[in-house]
Chain A
Amino acid sequence: ETGVTQTPRHLVMGMTNKKSLKCEQHLGHNAMYWYKQSAKKPLELMFVYSLEERVENNSVPSRFSPECPNSSHLFLHLHTLQPEDSALYLCASSPSGASYNEQFFGPGTRLTVL
């Protein structure tokens, strides 16, 4: 595997379910990110991890819970979601959390909440 991978690629869940999204980067990067892309809206940054520490939480509801066990893996744990949480969830990584670095994105997980 190369680059940034995300699993699953598609997920359908009910509002009472608990599920997790997984992201893995094979680039040796130190920073990882979760983004949400809703229809006709720009990508919205949700969380930033640098060296496995969360450095940013953009007022994301607590029903989204990130976890970064090491610099290569990032999870997004989901519970009691709402239908408006249906979106494309993108993971990205960069060489560090410092500035002037481009981010490398995974293919995304298309989430549908029923």
Chain B
Amino acid sequence: DQQVKQNSPSLSVQEGRISILNCDYTNSMFDYFLWYKKYPAEGPTFLISISSIKDKNEDGRFTVFLNKSAKHLSLHIVPSQPGDSAVYFCAASEGQTGANNLFFGTGTRLTVIP
């Protein structure tokens, strides 16, 4: 059973507007969450992370929000730029167990329209 879910396979947003990508998880032992971005013919590249002791982490145009009670996290990109068009993967790990195994969602393809 999939422990990390990204229910929207695709999202289109106008340039300059906000992009919101969502991710849900089922395992309450997850305490570290990451977002990766993937361009075609390249491997995923790390974007931003958040640990379960926080509910928000911001890095420039990218902000990740974590709602532990809802087992939900979201990535906000504002303002969106055409270069942000890519597939975004949400990942989670049970850091407290000492393992670094990442569980990934299926990804959301973001298209930013100029």
B43 touches A99 (CB 8 A): no
- Distance in angstroms from A78 CB to nearest chain B CB is 19
Contact of B43 among A40, A41, A101, A106 (CB under 8 A): A106
Q: Tell yes or no: A81 within 8 A of B by CB.
A: no
Cβ contact within 8 Å between B34 and A99: no
**Residue B114 at the chain A interface, CB threshold 8 Å:** no
Complex Cα gap A94–B34 (Å): 14
User: Chain A residue with minimal CB distance to B34?
Assistant: A102
Q: Does residue B28 face the partner (Cβ distance < 8 Å to A)?
A: no
Q: Interface residues of B toward A: which range?
A: 20 to 34
- Asked whether A108 and B43 contact (CB < 8 A) given A42-B106, A100-B95, A102-B34, the answer is yes
Q: Which of B10-18, B56-64, B68-76, B97-105 faces chain A? A: B97-105
Q: Does A53 contact B (CB under 8 A)?
A: no
**Closest CB in chain A relative to B26 CB, distance in Å:** 13
- B residues near A (Cβ < 8 Å) are 2, 4, 32, 34, 36, 41-46, 49, 51, 89, 93-107
**26 A–B contacts from the bound complex (CB under 8 Å):** A31-B100, A40-B106, A41-B106, A42-B2, A42-B104, A42-B105, A42-B106, A43-B44, A43-B104, A45-B103, A48-B100, A56-B101, A90-B44, A92-B43, A96-B100, A97-B99, A98-B100, A99-B32, A99-B95, A99-B97, A99-B98, A100-B95, A102-B46, A105-B36, A105-B45, A107-B41
Q: Please give 9 more A-B residue pairs, beta carbons under 8 A apart, in addition to A48-B100, A102-B46.
A: A42-B2, A42-B4, A56-B99, A97-B99, A100-B32, A100-B100, A101-B100, A103-B100, A104-B46
